[in-house]
């Protein structure tokens, strides 16, 4: 029996998948600020197929590293994005994760050499039979909704055709980034092409690619109207300041980083990822005196001191110690 409800992808504001950025603390922060659905970063199917522990921490048992961490709070809101080039492997990976997530997305838009040369991401846009087979096999194996995230093709009719075929194969929604594989983030996003797809294809289309013009909540609503989509998905504007999802307006970045750090402490997020996410939010503010001290930090404790969170850090560290566990140890066993 399918858990999918038709409204799930309708009228939603969504955090787009972002490698390294979209770990649990950042996803929860986006939910706090009003995102309706959050995507995971892309996780390659191989990784999930390695001997897993039966928890909501998915661990690579060959080296003890954490592959994916989730929690009950986001269970009905997290879409897990898979990078794949093989239908059988993708279906197996999807079935491992399905009970802990609200849906599975297949990345069909990543233009990076690593993805495309391995037959994943945007390589699937030019191999419609493989893309179809991947969706069908996942569909046959899992009960949660399946989506795909694509870029537009050179030819509008081809993009519409691709979306129609994905719909026939059973996707519940399609996220469309309005740039072609060759185009870079500074190129104009083709909002009118997305609008045309939304008008023509009878599956919810999630508009993406609008961050160059999105600074505020009102800009999100404008992007939604310009693309004629019921849902929109943000990557870079959320990366800059995830409180952009707040209807009542953005919060100062210092406050946002403090909230992010509280989650990072609470969930024992690994230091390199915590530093990467804060660096991505700080951008040019890394050149300020505080930014420079931040760049020199070697561990979470030093970062917490900069945002006056030393006390919370030490409380958590003591909690771990009292249970005989190591806090801030990236390798889990």
Asked about 110 being catalytic, the answer comes back as yes
- Per CB under 6 A, contacts with ligand FNR among 83-122 are 107, 109-110
Among 236, 246, 258, 266, binds ligand FNR (CB under 6 A): 236
- Per CB under 6 A, contacts with ligand FNR among 10-49 are 16-19, 21, 41-42
Confirm or reject binding of residue 196 to ligand FNR (CB under 6 A).
no
User: Long-range CB contacts (< 8 A, 24+ apart) of 46-49?
Assistant: 46/89, 48/82, 48/92, 48/93, 48/96, 48/97, 49/89, 49/92, 49/93, 49/96
- Helices 253-266, 310-322: inter-axial angle, 10-degree rounding: 10
In contact, 259 and 281? CB cutoff 8 Å: no
The window from 5-13, 137-145, 202-210, 241-249 that contacts ligand FNR (CB under 6 A) reads 202-210
Confirm or reject binding of residue 78 to ligand FNR (CB under 6 A).
no
Confirm or reject binding of residue 69 to ligand FNR (CB under 6 A).
no
In contact, 286 and 333? CB cutoff 8 Å: no
* Distance in Å, CB of 332 to ligand FNR, minimum: 23
From CA 170, how far away is CA 244, in angstroms rounded? Answer: 32
Closest to ligand FNR by CB, 230 or 327: 230
Confirm or reject binding of residue 81 to ligand FNR (CB under 6 A).
yes
Give the Cβ contact number of residue 300 at 10 Å: 23
**The one catalytic residue among 71, 110, 163, 277:** 110
Q: How far is CA 56 from CA 50, 67, 313, in A?
A: 15, 10, 23
Closest to ligand FNR by CB, 19 or 128: 19
* Distance in Å, CB of 223 to ligand FNR, minimum: 9
In contact, 175 and 159? CB cutoff 8 Å: no
* Distance in Å, CB of 263 to ligand FNR, minimum: 18
Residues identified as active-site: 110
């Amino acid at each position: 029996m399918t858990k999918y409800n038709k409204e799930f992808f309708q009228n939603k504001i969504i955090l787009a998948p972002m490698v390294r950025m979209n770990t649990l603390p950042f996803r929860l922060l986006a939910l706090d600020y009003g995102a309706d659905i959050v995507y995971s970063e892309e996780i390659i199917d191989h990784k999930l197929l390695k001997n897993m522990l039966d928890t909501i921490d998915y661990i690579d048992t060959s080296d003890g590293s954490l592959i994916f961490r989730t929690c009950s709070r986001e269970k009905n809101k997290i879409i897990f994005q898979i990078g794949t080039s093989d239908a059988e492997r993708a279906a197996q990976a999807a079935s491992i994760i399905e009970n802990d997530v609200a849906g599975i997305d297949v990345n069909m838009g990543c233009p990076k050499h690593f993805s495309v040369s391995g037959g994943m991401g945007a390589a699937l846009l030019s191999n419609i039979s493989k893309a179809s087979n991947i969706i069908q096999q996942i569909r046959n194996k899992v009960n949660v909704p399946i989506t795909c995230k694509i870029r537009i093709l050179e030819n509008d009719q081809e993009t519409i055709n691709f979306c129609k075929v994905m719909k026939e194969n059973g996707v519940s929604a399609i996220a469309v980034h309005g740039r072609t594989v060759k185009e870079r983030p500074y190129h104009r996003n083709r909002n009118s092409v997305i609008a045309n797809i939304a008008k023509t294809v009878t599956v919810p289309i999630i508009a993406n690619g609008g961050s160059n013009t999105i600074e505020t909540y009102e800009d999100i609503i404008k992007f939604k109207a310009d693309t004629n989509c019921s849902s929109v998905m943000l990557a870079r504007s959320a990366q800059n300041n995830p409180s952009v999802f707040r209807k009542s307006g953005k919060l100062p970045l210092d406050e946002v980083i403090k909230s992010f750090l509280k989650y990072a402490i609470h969930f024992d997020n690994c230091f390199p990822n915590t530093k990467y996410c804060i660096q991505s939010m700080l951008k040019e503010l890394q050149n300020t005196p505080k930014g420079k001290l931040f760049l020199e930090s070697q561990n979470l404790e030093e970062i917490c001191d900069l945002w006056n969170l030393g006390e919370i850090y030490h409380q958590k560290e003591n909690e771990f110690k009292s249970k005989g566990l190591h806090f801030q140890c990236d390798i889990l066993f």
